[in-house]
């Protein structure tokens, strides 16, 4: 089992060097040996490995350039423009109003990163990584949104010393303590903006949940932190026998109300505006879901929320939690641990939540009283991992 990653919260412990730690120290000495690098490049059996390590380090150094190339392509709308319609440099230059000599740098960089491809002699089309950008609006919106984070992190040490002084902290009105009970126009605008972004970016997470968990046994689902109701709307089509309840802050549920009416789903959904910091959750659902909510909040709030979820369920009721989780030990978790770095920093810039490992969240669920806590395997854990808990059927 991997260790809890909130080491900051653990008391200092005397260090005992394990065999693994001694082996890691030996590896570090080998890596630092100047002869090893030259020897490994000469040896055909080790060359690929040294090249790969060098390449990984180079990519880390160049990461900012890569994300700026991506952002420039999004802002110039190249992924839509080139979808099914390859174009040459002169055509793209006219359209983007950029001089061919500089535009070409961008196009060649995008080709190098797999976002675009050259087609024939002088035309550019979408590369394998560019196709999803033409198809999923949510990715482009997240790329634009990440610009706020990267601005906040421009000086990483200043950011670490004072993470909440930037655009990201301003963007999320609830992530620093209690949101205002009667928000004014400017604040209301923030709820509208983040709810639109969440709805646009939720598609991949929903796909993971809908293709990994069977909803047939349930009757009524309460989605907590439900946003504008994209999950509920898609689940309503996926499982037509279900009734729904949604719980979120009042300005967000006002947006959900409009959205559900427009989709003709309002009759199947009860809206419960409130704050889980102050209010109990409504009873009556046999499945409660929490999608991309826990990681926004500190441990004390998550513990309180899980307790409220447990209290609101009937005996035998089910709780499903889905969100990006840490791969503290990549050898153990499915997927690529490098995504952890993004989420650690995103959540720090946003407020006082944090990325947790599945094991940490499962321990918190057990603490709240859930039995049979388990992981639901899913195909693409980078979007979200899924945990399930049951409330005991036996009376205390
Ligand atoms: C990151 S968004 C996720 C929304 C949606 N579940 C999704 O995955 O797109 C977190 C949601 O939790 C809601 N939320 C935050 N604090 C809350 C609170 N104290 N009470 C109720 N809802 C809250 C926010 O309004 C927002 O809709």
pLDDT tens-digit readout, 252-284: 999 999 999 999 999 999 999 999 999 999 999
Q: Does the pLDDT value for residue 329 go beyond 90?
A: no
Torsion region of 227: left, alpha or beta (phi above 0 gives left; psi -120 to 50 gives alpha) = left
Question: Are the C-beta atoms of 332 and 2 separated by less than 8 Å?
Answer: yes
Higher pLDDT, 335 or 356: 356
**Reduced to 3 states, what is the DSSP secondary structure of residue 158?**
helix
Q: Does the pLDDT value for residue 380 go beyond 80?
A: yes
Tokens representing residue 126 in the block? 């979408």
For ligand 1, atom 27, name the residue with the nearest CA.
227
d(CA 276, ligand 1 centre) in Å? 10
Tokens representing residue 132 in the block? 């999803």
Residue identified by tokens 């399930």 is 388
Ligand 1 binding pocket mutation candidate from 172, 206, 249, 290 (most atoms within 8 A of CB): 249
Helices (H), 202-355: 203-210, 230-238, 250-262, 299-312, 339-350
Report pLDDT for 370.
Answer: 97
d(CA 43, ligand 1 centre) in Å? 54
Give the angle subtended at the CA of 25 by the CAs of 24 and 30, to the nearest 5°: 95
Which ligand 1 atom is nearest residue 199's CA? 9
d(CA 304, ligand 1 centre) in Å? 15
On average, the pLDDT of the chain sits at 93
**Reduced to 3 states, what is the DSSP secondary structure of residue 81?**
helix
In this prediction, residue 335 has a pLDDT band, given cuts at 50, 70 and 90, of low
Domains 43-135 and 170-391 agree in fold: no
**Reduced to 3 states, what is the DSSP secondary structure of residue 380?**
coil
What DSSP character marks residue 394? S
For ligand 1, atom 24, name the residue with the nearest CA.
225
Which ligand 1 atom is nearest residue 201's CA? 9
Strand partners, 245: 222, 270
d(CA 275, ligand 1 centre) in Å? 10
Share of the chain above pLDDT 70, in %: 93
Which ligand 1 atom is nearest residue 227's CA? 27
Helix (H) or strand (E) holding 91: helix 89-96
Distance between CA 326 and CA 329 in Å, rounded? 8
Distance between CA 116 and CA 185 in Å, rounded? 41
Output the ligand 1 site: residues, CB below 6 A: 174, 198, 202, 205, 225-227, 248-249, 252, 275-277, 291-293, 296
Question: Are the C-beta atoms of 73 and 110 separated by less than 8 Å?
Answer: yes
C-beta contacts of 187-194 below 8 A and 24+ residues apart: 188/251, 191/249, 191/251, 191/252, 191/255, 192/251, 192/255
d(CA 248, ligand 1 centre) in Å? 6
Helix (H) or strand (E) holding 102: helix 100-112
d(CA 335, ligand 1 centre) in Å? 26
For the domain with range 43-135, which CATH number is right: 1.10.10.10, 3.40.50.300, 3.40.980.10, 1.10.490.10? Answer: 1.10.10.10
DSSP 129-141: TTHHHHH-HHHHH
Q: Does the pLDDT value for residue 3 go beyond 60?
A: no
Q: Does the pLDDT value for residue 13 go beyond 70?
A: no
Task: Classify domain 170-391 at the CATH class level.
Answer: alpha beta
Domain boundaries, the chain: 43-135, 170-391
Provide mean pLDDT across the span 81-104: 97
Tokens representing residue 206 in the block? 């929903």
In this prediction, residue 216 has a pLDDT band, given cuts at 50, 70 and 90, of very high
For ligand 1, atom 14, name the residue with the nearest CA.
225
Q: Does the pLDDT value for residue 180 go beyond 90?
A: no
313-328, pLDDT tens digit by residue?
A: 999 999 999 999 998 6
């Amino acid at each position: 089992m991997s260790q809890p990653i909130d080491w900051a919260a653990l008391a200092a412990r005397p260090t005992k060097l394990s065999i693994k730690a001694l082996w890691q120290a030996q590896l570090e000495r080998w890596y630092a040996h100047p002869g090893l690098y030259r020897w490994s490049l000469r040896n055909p059996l080790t060359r690929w490995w040294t090249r790969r390590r060098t390449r990984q380090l180079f990519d880390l150094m160049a990461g900012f350039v890569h994300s700026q190339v991506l952002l420039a392509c999004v802002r110039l709308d190249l992924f839509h423009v080139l979808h099914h319609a390859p174009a040459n440099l002169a055509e793209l230059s006219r359209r983007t109003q950029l001089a061919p000599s500089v535009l070409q740098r961008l196009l060649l960089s995008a080709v190098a990163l797999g976002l675009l491809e050259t087609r024939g002699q002088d035309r550019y089309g979408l590369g394998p990584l560019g196709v999803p950008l033409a198809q999923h609006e949510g990715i482009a919106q997240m790329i634009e949104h990440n610009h706020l984070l990267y601005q906040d992190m421009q000086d990483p040490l200043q950011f670490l010393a004072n993470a909440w002084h930037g655009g990201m902290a301003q963007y999320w009105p609830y992530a620093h303590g209690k949101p205002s009970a009667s928000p004014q126009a400017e604040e209301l605008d923030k709820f509208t903006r983040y709810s639109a972004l969440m709805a646009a970016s939720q598609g991949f997470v929903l796909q993971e949940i809908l293709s990994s968990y069977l909803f047939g046994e349930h009757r009524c689902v309460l989605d907590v932190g439900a946003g504008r109701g994209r999950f509920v709307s898609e689940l309503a089509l996926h499982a037509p026998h279900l009734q729904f309840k949604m719980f979120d802050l009042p300005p967000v549920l006002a947006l959900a109300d409009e959205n559900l009416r427009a989709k003709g789903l309002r009759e199947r959904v009860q809206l419960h505006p409130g704050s889980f910091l102050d209010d109990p959750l409504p009873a009556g659902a046999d499945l409660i879901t929490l999608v991309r909510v826990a990681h926004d909040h500190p441990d004390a709030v998550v513990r309180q929320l899980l307790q409220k979820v447990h209290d609101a369920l009937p005996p035998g009721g089910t709780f499903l939690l889905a969100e990006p989780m840490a791969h503290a030990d990549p050898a153990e978790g499915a997927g690529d641990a490098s995504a952890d770095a993004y989420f650690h920093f995103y959540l720090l810039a946003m407020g006082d939540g944090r990325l947790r490992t599945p094991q940490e969240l499962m321990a918190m669920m057990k603490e709240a009283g859930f039995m049979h806590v388990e992981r639901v395997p899913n195909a693409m854990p980078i979007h979200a991992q899924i945990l399930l808990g049951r409330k005991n059927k036996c009376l205390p």
